[in-house]
Amino acid sequence: MENILQYLKWRGDLSFEERQWNEVDALICALLGYVEWDGIVLDIAVSLQYACQTLCQKDSHEDMVQTYAYAPMIADMIPLLIDAKRYQDVQLQRYISICDQENDIQFAAITILLPFQALYISYRGTDCTLLGWKEDFQMMLDTIPSQKLALQYLKETYQDLVIPKKLLGIQYGKTNKSLYLGCHSKGGNLAMYAAICCDEMKEYINHIYSFDGPGFQETFYQEHEYQSIIKCIHNYVPTSSLIGRIMTHKEKHIILNAYGNGLQQHDAFYWKISQSHFDYALCFDEETQHHIKYIHDVLLSRTDQEKKDFISLIFTILDNMKINLITDFNEITFKQAFQGIKELSTMNFEESKIFFDFLKFIYGQIKTVYFSKKKE
């Protein structure tokens, strides 16, 4: 499989001076936002090599595969980064992770110091917690807490690491001239949100990378000035993209060939690489076009109140079924299923059928990702 793991083997021995920064490097940095760096990366910068070595000493390969069930090849990427000359001068700092069930927040971010006076802020995308998926659905209704946290994190990083420091009128310390934002899935949306909403920092932002990240409601663009930053947004989506095509995008899609199909292609390790860039495609596949239309007709075309009620019912049912992780779907008991179905009794036949069919559609997509990987 010619993916980012192969890229690390092919190009890992070449420094950024020998082969300049590219979109595949941007994806690798984006995926570092998924890694749980607790106790390893704090406010003071540490080398990426040290952080990866410490993580491998702390967690076995099997543990990491289970932790990152939504992208298990992260467990293979971490050891490769330890020996990659290309990343030997990369540093990490300012890791933060928040998981707040009460306020529906699943948020994490990390700052990556690149060896050419640039910073890359990586926001975590959706993990396999039901809380993360709930946030994705709530994004269709209004601004979510994670978006506000992403903007706050950007502002604090800008103050601490980008603005030149002065003492008695004399500048001191290292100045980071370029600022990159990005991540995969929900993280890509957070990066775009922060960049669009941070008026005072836009001159420092060179690139915003959204890897199969969802868009925004049309009202968001009406309320914010986005034209000045849109040229900096690189929006990459695979041919079977679902997540990356939800809601409105003003920037252009860059379509990529990928292995697998459906939601399986949301895993960036399935994206095809050609030397130092992605393998580009001309159009989306036909089946995905039908899936996008189905999601629009069943959910996105509803009024805000109808969407709110629909989404609330989804997660009330899953909560009653004691589903906390997406992988819990693989071990549903009859009793759990019955607890969920009881909620449908309050709906008329037509609405309950639409809702049940939608749950089956979501489960079918999830099944291609989590449970096929488990068999592999």
Show the domains of the chain with their CATH numbers: 4-285 (3.40.50), 302-375 (no CATH)
CB atoms near residue 198 (< 10 Å): 20
Give the number of C-alpha atoms closer than 13 A to the C-alpha of residue 201, restricted to the C-beta side.
Answer: 29
Region 19-26: what's the mean pLDDT? 96
Distance of CA 41 to the CA centre of its chain: 20
Angle between helix 48-58 and helix 74-83 axes, rounded to 10 deg: 130
For residue 171, the one-letter residue type is: Q
Chain position carrying tokens 């917690």: 129
Is 53 a residue whose pLDDT tops 70?
yes
pLDDT tens-digit profile of 297-316?
A: 888 888 888 888 888 887 87
CA distance 142 to 109: 21
CA distance 24 to 55: 23
179 contacts 205 by C-beta, under 8 angstroms: yes
pLDDT tens-digit profile of 215-237?
A: 999 999 999 999 999 999 999 99
Is 151 a residue whose pLDDT tops 80?
yes
pLDDT at 217: 92
What torsion, rounded to 10 degrees, do the Cα atoms 202, 208, 212, 217 define?
10
pLDDT tens-digit profile of 232-255?
A: 999 999 999 988 998 999 999 999
pLDDT at 240: 92
CA distance 42 to 23: 27
46's tokens: 């540490």
For residue 294, the one-letter residue type is: Y
Q: For residue 1, with 0-12 CB atoms within 10 Å meaning exposed, 13-18 middle and 19 or more buried, which class applies?
A: exposed
Q: What angle do CA 128, 129, 130 make, to 5 degrees?
A: 115
Backbone angles phi, psi at 108, to 5 degrees: -155, 150
